[in-house]
Structure 1
Amino acid sequence: MADNRGAAGPDRLTITRASVDGVGVVTVRGEIDHHTGDPLRTALALPGGGPAPRIVVDLSGVTFMDSSGINILVAAHNAARDAHGWLRLAAPTDSVLRTLRIVGVDAVIDCYPTLRQALDT
């Protein structure tokens, strides 16, 4: 099941949701910033009830992420953990990985070099 969501301005952010072996995969393409963060926040929102959430965020298509994106990912990670689930980051681009490392998010949220590794671990 895929769900495409646009953002402020054409081609600035595209989000697709799918399920792979019971794990929610949120694929993000474009720029994550103050103007485009709301669709990502919505895509990562946990539904009430149900099994513990397991979510992988595929960042392979993200060209830019500022502190808004960091805050959204940390909030989603905390919500998943509080619901006895998890959130993992997959395939961040070099610039995004550098940002994650500078602020220490990679020490809080598990980051994997590929989507497959994030799903298999």
Structure 2
Amino acid sequence: MSEGKVANSNRAEQREQLSVAATATDGVQVLNPAGEIDHHTGDALRHALDVALTAHPRVVVDLGGVTFMDSSGINVLIAAHHALTQAGGWLRLAAPTDTVMRTLQIVGVDAVIDCHDTLRQALAD
């Protein structure tokens, strides 16, 4: 039985992990978070957005690797949207999974922040 507890514990730790890769393309900072964005992991995305804001006022967050997002993630995105807009830039969201898109729609974030089906669309608009 202890093996099952260890396996469950490892899965819980993996769910709490969020990695955020950053690249720049034609003056646009592209962030690629992977994992779950919640109250345990939201600071990783917040930090990446803060760094992006200092480097580029135009940011795309590619949500294709995000498996779950709660209100903590929503708050991080809204705060970044406001900060980037005040800096004369913008925030766009790309490729949200169905689960993440549903969350964005329920709270109306998709009406505030531009959401695109693909990264290519987010970069082209």
TM-score computed with the length of structure 2 as normaliser: 0.85
Q: Which runs of 4+ in 1 moved over 6 A?
A: none
Which of residues 39, 42, 45 in structure 2 aligns to 1:34?
Answer: 39
3-state DSSP of counterpart to 1:92:
coil
3-state DSSP of counterpart to 1:16:
strand
Q: Deviations over 1:1-55 (max 9, x none)?
A: xxxxxxxx446211001001110000011000000011100000122xx7x6000
Q: Which has the higher helix share?
A: 2
Q: Deviations over 1:61-109 (max 9, x none)?
A: 1000000000000000000000010000000000000000000000000
Identity rate, percent = 65
- Is 1:67 aligned with 2:71? yes
The CA distance in 2 between the partners of 1:92 and 1:83, in whole Å, is 25
TM-score computed with the length of structure 1 as normaliser: 0.87
State how many pairs are aligned. Answer: 111
* Equivalent residue number for residue 3 of structure 1: none
Which structure has the bigger radius of gyration? 2
The CA distance in 2 between the partners of 1:106 and 1:25, in whole Å, is 18
- Is 1:22 aligned with 2:27? yes
Which of residues 71, 78, 82 in structure 1 aligns to 2:82?
Answer: 78
* Equivalent residue number for residue 105 of structure 2: 101
Which of residues 101, 116, 119 in structure 1 aligns to 2:120?
Answer: 116
Cα RMSD, aligned residues only: 1.5
* Equivalent residue number for residue 5 of structure 1: none
Letter in 2 for 1:87: L
The CA distance in 2 between the partners of 1:39 and 1:93, in whole Å, is 19
Unaligned runs of at least 5 residues, structure 1? 1-8
Letter in 2 for 1:82: Q
